Structure 1
Amino acid sequence: MAIIAKGVSMSTGTVKWFNESKGYGFISPDDGNTDLFVHHSEIKVSGYATLSDGQKVEFEVGEGKKGPCAVGVIPC
């Protein structure tokens, strides 16, 4: 589970790649910061949680076990 930084607003970005069978991928933030890991459990949709390469998303930046990650991901 990721820890969310308090007081942080939603960021936007583009899905760099997402492996549906493994349930994870990376998002490139629009602000140019380092790509962020995203796990399927952080995708906020009803039904099967997946993302498509090149898809625009909104998210918050959290801190995972291995560094920054995207949390509360909402497809645009």
Structure 2
Amino acid sequence: MSDSTTERSVSGHVKWFDPARGFGFVVSDEGGADILLHANVLRVFGQSTVADAARITLTVQDTDRGIQAINVLAIEPPETSSGPSLEDLEHLKVTDLDVPLVPSRVKWFDKSKGFGFANIFGDGEDIFVHVEVLRRSGLADLMPGEAIALRVIDGRRGRMAAQVVPWDAAARDTPEFEHVQAEHIDEDA
């Protein structure tokens, strides 16, 4: 029987994660057995999905069933692209990501098509969301009705997301976002 009380920090990359199945696996930089990443552990961090190949830092423990993640400490988007390219993002500058986060809700997203749309709270205008933007944001999929935060830019074909941030992460990591989200939620009421 292994010692399930020993916790340690591990860095690695996401091998795969399937939100429909509720789990995935992480490969440690140190090698060894794959690490189970359960959807509940990811949700506590504030995300419902994570992109394949994303860098991740976890607290893990050994159990009778193998190594399991018990806490997500950090996630960084994958370094290389494996999905379809998006011409609007080819010339994206770091300064384009200086626009404020805006609270939004997913209208629909089809991973197999590679895109979907979201709406900013209080505004019916559709904001285009490309799967490559999700990947660059460290996410793999979006669900209809899911609350998110977007950095929106004017693309060649209209308004589009340049970055997608999970709602919980935006509220936790962006001090000014709490004030902004309260304004937009009041407008929707």
Cα contact 2:45–2:71 (8 A) shared by 1: no
Partner amino acid for 1:71? Answer: I
* 3-state SS of 2:49 partner: coil
Relative to total residues, which structure has the larger helix share, 1 or 2? 2
List structure 1 runs of 4+ shifted beyond 2 angstroms. Answer: none
1:63 deviates by 3.3
Gapped runs of 5+ residues in structure 2? Answer: 77-189
After TM superposition, give the deviation of residue 45 of structure 1 in Å: 2.6
TM-score normalized by the length of structure 1: 0.76
How large is the RMSD of aligned CA atoms in angstroms?
1.9
Give a deviation string over 1:1-43, Cα, whole Å, max 9, x none: xx5514x3x2101000001111100000001121111101112
Quote how far apart the aligned CAs of 1:72 are. Answer: 0.4
How many Å separate the matches in 1 of 2:36 and 2:59?
A: 12
Q: Which runs of 5+ in 1 are unaligned?
A: none
Query: TM-score, normalization: structure 2?
Result: 0.34
Bigger CA drift: 19-28 or 64-73?
A: 64-73
Question: Which of structures 1 and 2 has the larger relative contact order (alpha carbons within 8 angstroms, sep 6+)?
Answer: 1
With over 3 angstroms needed to count, the CA separation of the structure-2 counterparts of 1:25 and 1:61, relative to structure 1, is: same
- Identical amino acids, percent of aligned pairs: 25
In the alignment of these two chains, the number of paired residues is 71
* Higher fraction of strand: 1
The structure whose Rg is larger is 2
